[in-house]
Structure formats: C-alpha cells, structure tokens
Structure 1
C-alpha cells in the first residue's frame, strides 16, 4: 500500500511530457501572380506543408484571372493536409497570370505578305474589324503564322486563320476576316503652317491614305510642295492642295519697293509701296510715293518692280 502511494506520488512529481510539435499554420496569400501554366499549393499558402508543390489546377489564360472563395480554399486545404482555417467567411485569393497581346502590327504585316501572294497590292490598307489579338504569357517567346487565306473579288474581302504558338500557352488558332482598301500617296504637313509661309524640307512628309478619302488635286510628291508658298494656313497632318500652293513672293504687300521705269535708252528709279504680294513675274499694283499715282508693274526681283514708260496710272483709268 505504501509502495503504491509512493509510485503515485513520484508520478505526480515528474515533469509532464512535451506535446508533439504541430506544423505551423498556413497563411493565405491575398494575391497570386503566376508565370507558369499550373497553379500549386505554394501559390495559395505560405507554410503549405510537405505537399506545397502539388499542382491544384491549370493557371488562368495569359492576361486573365480567377478567384477562389472561402469554401474552395477550405476544400483544397482539407484535401491536401494544409493546416489552414479561414479567419472570416470572406477569405479569398485573386490569381492572375500576366499576359500581353500579340502585336497587331506584326499580325497585319504577316497578313499583308500573304495577301500579296493572292493578288492584293502591298500598299493597300488592311482593315480587320473586331480583331482582338490573342494574349500570350508576358515574357514568352512566340511565333505567328497565317493559314487558309481566301480572297473574294470584287471588294478585296478576305478570310484567314491566325496561328499563334507561344511558350506556356500552347497553340492558338483564330479565324480573322476583313478587307483590303486601296491607298494613294499624299503629302501632309508635319506642323502648323501660316498663310504666306514657304514650305521647307521638314514641313512636309509623304504618307498613304485611303483613296476614297483623298480629294482630287492633292499633292502626291514632295517636290510639288517644297519651296512653295502657302495661300492658306495649314493644320498638322493636313494634306496639301496644289491650288493652295504657289511660287514664293519676292514682293510683299505694303512693303517699300523700287519702281524701275524702263524705256529705250532711259532707266529711272523711284520709290513705291506694293499694294499686293507677288511672285517673280507676277503683276503687282504699286503706289508711286512721289506722284501718289498707282501703276501696275511686274515683280522682277526682291523688292523690285518694273514699270514700262508711259504706263497709265491705274487711278486715272
């Protein structure tokens, strides 16, 4: 009896055994940014445990996202032995996969190359209504191709299949349709130009516009514009009309000029004031500042106007 009591007392005096060390609680990430094409436990939880690298599902398509709500997360944690409990009933995680669209310019360039093999002129404008370029992983290598091109005439309407091959996204195929529109060369202004300015080499550039939008009489060569004087103001990217261009004035309106009166064996010079601007060889009315008469002469040089002897003053006609 005494022995049994002693053993009981000894047991009570011994220290308690340490409890087994439990796994640290997992922490839910509020946001997951995926680079690969699969979703793993470690993308959802910190301290996910020994199965952290287990694949849960395929990742969203490039440029897309998905959301796992509380109950989804509870089920995933329970099935994979993750030590996690929600703090609230609204715990969730947003899973995104960065993406970028295939450059539209590359699609159009490849399509143009294929269409020229089917009789479409290379200078035509490619119209692709409603095209949304496919998304690919943000940093992935990719390649595109065009298959099954068909062209309907008249109207130059076409159909084709765009094939996109990208690392981590497999092969995508997209049916595209549109039309090719004829274009013509047009010279446009590179900046705002004022009335009377002489167009310089940096003031104009050659571009191509839809033929249906170009009015007759538009300048189509740079040489038709450079060195010409404007007879109306120009806005940036506005096309030059030939009727609004002319040789640069050598006599300016209201400027003082030298009136040169020529006659066989006689040459006289008087000062006058030009009443209009004029290019070389153009007629210009000038007031003789000595007589106050207005005569008409011909611009022959900067600030110089020739008047024939015996010219009847305009005011006297």
Structure 2
C-alpha cells in the first residue's frame, strides 16, 4: 500500500493539472469510492470547483483501496492552491475503486444461447459449478463475451470460455458445468428376483435425470416384457438391456392357439408355430386345417393374437413338413 501511495504521490507531482487559483476553504474527503480510472482532485477534497478539478494520477485497481497520508495531502493542497484550514498531521484519505465481480447471472444467458446452438433442448437443466468470476472496474465493465463453448453431449458436461474488457485490459476466464434433462425410462416397479419373467405389471415409467441414466437404459416397456432377469433387481432401478435376457415363450413347432378378433367377433383356432419368439414378438403360425400361414403376436406360452389386416398366405411343402403336417396327395 505504501508503494502504491508513493507512486500515486509521484504522479501528482510530475503530472496532473498544474496550478489552480485559490478557492473557498476546502474540506478533506476521508473516504471516496471512485468510478473512474483516474484519481481527481475532487476525490480528495470537498469544495473543489469545476475549473479547479483535474486528474492527479491512476486510480487503484478495481476493488482495491489507496490511502493518502497527511504529508501527501498537504503537498497536493499546496501544489494546487487548495485552501485547507483543517490541515492536520493525522489526516488521511482512503480511495476505493468501485468494482463489479462477474457473476453467475452475467454469464448464464450466454451459456444457454451457446448450448442451444449446439442442440441442447429448451427443457434441459443447465448448471454452472464452482464459478468464481473476475473483478473488473464497475464503470468500465462491458458485458462478458462468450469466446467459445465446448460441449460433451455424451457426458452432459461443458466448458464455456469468456473475455471481458475493463480499463483497456481484456481478461479471459472460463465456467464449467453440466447439462441434464428428464428422460422417461423403464424402471422396476417392485423387487425382481433373478430369473424372473418380466411382465407389464413388474415395470413402470419414471422420469430420470439424464446424468444418472445408465447406458443402454430401456425406454420402451415393450422392449423388455417377456424377458428374464439375469440377476436380482431392486425396486425403482432403471432397467438396462444388460440386466435381462431374451426367453422364447414359444418354440418353433409348438402347438398354439390362434386368437382372431374382427368386427367384434372373437374366434380361436389351432395352429403350429413356424418361428420361435419371446412375449410381444411376431411369429408365423400355420393353421393345419386351412393350410394357411398367418402372422401373430405372442401373448403367452400358448396363445398368439393374429395381427389385424394381415393376409394369410398358402403354406408350401417345406412349411407343412416343418409343422409336421402331411401335404395333400394329388389324385
């Protein structure tokens, strides 16, 4: 501080305004907050007229203070013809440069716009972690400028790089943070035991923070219904494809019941599966009586619901033999 005050005093002696005409008695301003880059005579004394006022030297750095001691104040008053009747050896003046610290609110609009330009949705949650912005002169601080933003979409992380100009000096700084959104994923409704066949009642849809969503998470219940758990799973755990394995409820060649619904009518017929499949999957089924092949969705281990709108196709010799049905003999 003494070194700063010395340089300031030297600047007052060699620079600034030369001499001024005496004016009415002035009084010392013991504390002043500066909103300009130069210390002015009126920052030290009250009662300075406009034609007397002039720059004395550089102001302290933003947020910093400078104390002017009694000898320095006396020398300044004498040099510039200030009538200071209260001159005292104990007098001192403290000058503080007004400052502004770049805050979270200053940079968030820029981060949001930058991330949206990279494809981040409006519904995403953007968080800045452990941000500490630079301190700049309050009167000269421009708005921060976003120089670049690096976004890792796979891990939901970003780094934003900024610059801000103050006192003809440009400072660079960065802010790091995360991007998350709420994703609808399939979770276990209750505890599931190892080897359990998953049914619709065993799962539910829950909104999960994308940052905690596991890789290969199941988003559609249809992708997991009818599969078997590889291990025990606790309730409310997000399910992944690695937690389950596909189990064929119906094996190729197995007898099944065809459920046919049309125009309010419900009919059943016997059939033979031409494919193996898990619950919810579509397979080809032969109707041995009509010798026609239909496509249906597996309901359980014995039933297949014929897909509405599909057209039955005649079975060829290979299909009939695969189903154990004797082909008709030509007469």
TM-score w.r.t. length of structure 2:
0.40
